[in-house]
Structure 1
Amino acid sequence: MIMAATKPTANRGYDIIGDIHGCANTLARLLDQMGYRKINGVYQHPRRQAIFIGDIIDRGPRIREALHLVRDMVEHGSARIVMGNHEYNALGYCTRARPGSGKTFLREHNARHDRLIRETLEQFEAHPYEWNEFLEWFYTIPLFIDDEDFRVVHACWDGDLIEKFKQSQGGACIDEDFLHASAAIESFAGQVMDTLLRGTDLRLPRGMTITGRDGYVREFFRTKFWADDPHTYADVVFQPDPLPPEVASRVLTESERKQLISYPLDAPPVFVGHYWMEGEPAPLKSNVACIDYSAVKYGRLVAYRMDGERALSRDKFVWVDVERPEQADYPNSEDSLAR
């Protein structure tokens, strides 16, 4: 029988799963490993609930299959999900701008953006009605989960922004008006989507740039939202591409320190994805964990098995390595700063 949607309970466990990016076969392997079984075509667990960190789409070989698997679980109560920047990007890319805005689509159709969404649109080319249904479904995906024992957001937990968002939207989801407003990055809506789904950053000193492994030249670098008493750029940088040593050693100015946000040690554990981690999964801090370990780049698809603990443990991470046959071709190597 199909499980009905249930409210969280104190004795229910949660399996928080990292960025999937179309690796549906790998996701099925991870769910199997964690004891989920298909009942009437939907993966379910008798005592646990999966929570997806977002970025189900783009880059990988089985995006359509991954979306169906995840949405079925969410609609049957065996999973929850938060929005990733790639779902947000897809909404903007496929939504026409309003008259007088000077744009055709909310997210410009340029070579970089075309490349990021290419695999998704190609895999839905023969299923346009399905794609439109998924775009509508994206509006039902919350930006964050704020439970008593833990929190989940795709890239950055900014408590002040989240509280203001709750007050303005009356919940955790965006609507089409908010999507349109977010196209202006300097607006409140733009800041919410950029911070929660892409993370925080600092501008490099004037005239300085860094070139990422994807060849993209940037004037900013991504920063931690949990750094304790940082002093240098090295103390706050958090991205796949390291800063050059002469940049990493620069001392933060008082103005730069004021731009940083922090995540208190006594706050509930928070889980993020987004950042293309490598190596052995482990907490970033006793109450902060990133669970994106580059599955679509033949890394690992990772989950954290949460059971209400206040201090996170490396023993609670589980994963499957991504096998090369999952992909026909190597995916786009855009990094976590992709906008």
Structure 2
Amino acid sequence: MQPIHAIPDIHADPDRLARSLDAAEPGARIAFLGDFIDALPGQAAVSDRAVLERVRDLVETDRAVAVMGNHELNAILFHRLGIDGAALRRHSPRNRAQHRSFVADFGIMTPQALGWTDWFLTLPLWREEDGLRLVHACWSAPAIETVAARRPDGRLREADLPEIAARSTRFGRAVQLLVTGPEQRLPEGMGFHDSHGSLRRRVRLAWWRHGAKSWRDAALSVPDPEELPRTALPARGDLTFYPKGAPPVLCGHYKMRGAPCIEARNVACLDYPGTPCIYRWRGEARLMEEHLQAV
């Protein structure tokens, strides 16, 4: 069986992409977990164009596979208009800031921007390769079933975009869950500041932490956990934890802190911006710390 080396969120960093590819063993197939675009705050090397050209070449020559990330989906919506003539994703100062590096390279709604976002639509929301599952943010069987009923290959179409932008249907919400993961509103009056300094009232939840009891146990992507309440996490009937006996899943998205580690035997988030890594999968059903490779 051909080994698979999974590379998480590159965010327009050509140096990180080069180091990640250099860390892969000869003969391994590359699996990208989405979020190729939109540089992070304080990032030294920035080129959406260089990253996208390298990734697309690898995918189109069958040396790599890739799934769509939330930044790709956001860009698709940002550069397209609804029937009312307004962008499907608002051109607000916050959204413009998120897409700053992509816009710097390709502009807004230019032929180049539309061409690249057309290519994003060729990326599936999930993949399964030889028993390894790949998704950007959350492997949810109900969400995948909902999307697959309309789009069996997991690839979106232009006609799907308005309801995804509005999150107005079960289909639209299922798409968003796969690329952004489950979230829950914090208790009244509570919030935290994300990596961009924006105040958020909803927090991402770790869908693989079966034993999480408190907000701090369950929360993801919170730079300062001290901002979260110490109270117990309320019961959530719509949060489905990933089954312990299911095939292994690799995801990105969550901007994990500290040293890369395997939190669950069959789920690993690889997105560690401060200590980048890849995962070298060789067919194991139980994910292994020694297969994490720093880049």
Tell whether the structures are fold-level matches, with TM greater than 0.5: yes
- Give 1:237 shift: 1.4
Match of 2:289 in 1: 314
Counterparts of 1:193 and 1:235, CA distance in 2: 26
Counterparts of 1:130 and 1:109, CA distance in 2: 18
- Give 1:157 shift: 1.1
User: After the TM superposition, which residues 151-166 of structure 1 pair with which residues of structure 2 at under 5 Å, given as runs?
Assistant: 151-166=133-148
Contact 2:278 2:293 in 1 (8 A): yes
- Give 1:148 shift: 4.4
Match of 1:24 in 2: 14
Aligned pair 1:139/2:124, yes or no? Answer: no
Counterparts of 1:61 and 1:55, CA distance in 2: 14
TM-score by length of 1: 0.80
User: After the TM superposition, which residues 1-339 of structure 1 pair with which residues of structure 2 at under 5 Å, given as runs?
Assistant: 11-35=1-25, 45=26, 47-59=27-39, 61-99=46-84, 104-125=86-107, 128-244=110-226, 247=229, 249-253=230-234, 256-294=235-273, 299-320=274-295
In the alignment, residue 48 of structure 2 is paired with which amino acid? Answer: I
Number of residue pairs matched by the alignment = 290
Contact 1:139 1:173 in 2 (8 A): yes
Match of 1:8 in 2: none
In the alignment, residue 288 of structure 2 is paired with which amino acid? Answer: S
Counterparts of 1:154 and 1:191, CA distance in 2: 15
More deviation, 154-163/198-207: 198-207
Contact 1:265 1:287 in 2 (8 A): yes
1:292 partner SS: coil
In the alignment, residue 145 of structure 1 is paired with which amino acid? Answer: R
Match of 2:42 in 1: none
**Max Rg structure:** 1
Distance 1:246 1:140, change over 3 A: closer
More deviation, 279-288/305-314: 279-288
Q: Percent sequence identity over matched residues?
A: 32
Contact 1:226 1:261 in 2 (8 A): no
- Give 1:246 shift: 6.9
- Give 1:213 shift: 4.7
In the alignment, residue 115 of structure 1 is paired with which amino acid? Answer: A
Contact 1:27 1:301 in 2 (8 A): no
Contact 1:19 1:301 in 2 (8 A): no
- Give 1:238 shift: 1.7
Match of 1:328 in 2: none
Counterparts of 2:166 and 2:117, CA distance in 1: 21
Counterparts of 1:290 and 1:164, CA distance in 2: 24
- Give 1:245 shift: 6.9
- Give 1:125 shift: 4.5
- Give 1:195 shift: 1.0
Counterparts of 1:212 and 1:120, CA distance in 2: 21
Contact 1:283 1:313 in 2 (8 A): yes
Distance 1:206 1:280, change over 3 A: closer
Counterparts of 1:231 and 1:126, CA distance in 2: 44
Distance 1:307 1:16, change over 3 A: same
Counterparts of 2:288 and 2:217, CA distance in 1: 22
Distance 1:318 1:164, change over 3 A: same
Contact 1:182 1:188 in 2 (8 A): no
1:183 partner SS: helix
2:173 partner SS: helix
In the alignment, residue 49 of structure 1 is paired with which amino acid? Answer: R
Contact 2:190 2:201 in 1 (8 A): yes
For the aligned residue pairs, the C-alpha RMSD in angstroms reads: 2.1
Contact 1:13 1:305 in 2 (8 A): yes
The runs of 5 or more residues in structure 2 that have no matched partner are 40-44
TM-score by length of 2: 0.91
Which runs of 4 or more aligned residues in structure 1 lie more than 6 Å from their structure 2 counterparts after TM superposition? none
Match of 1:38 in 2: none
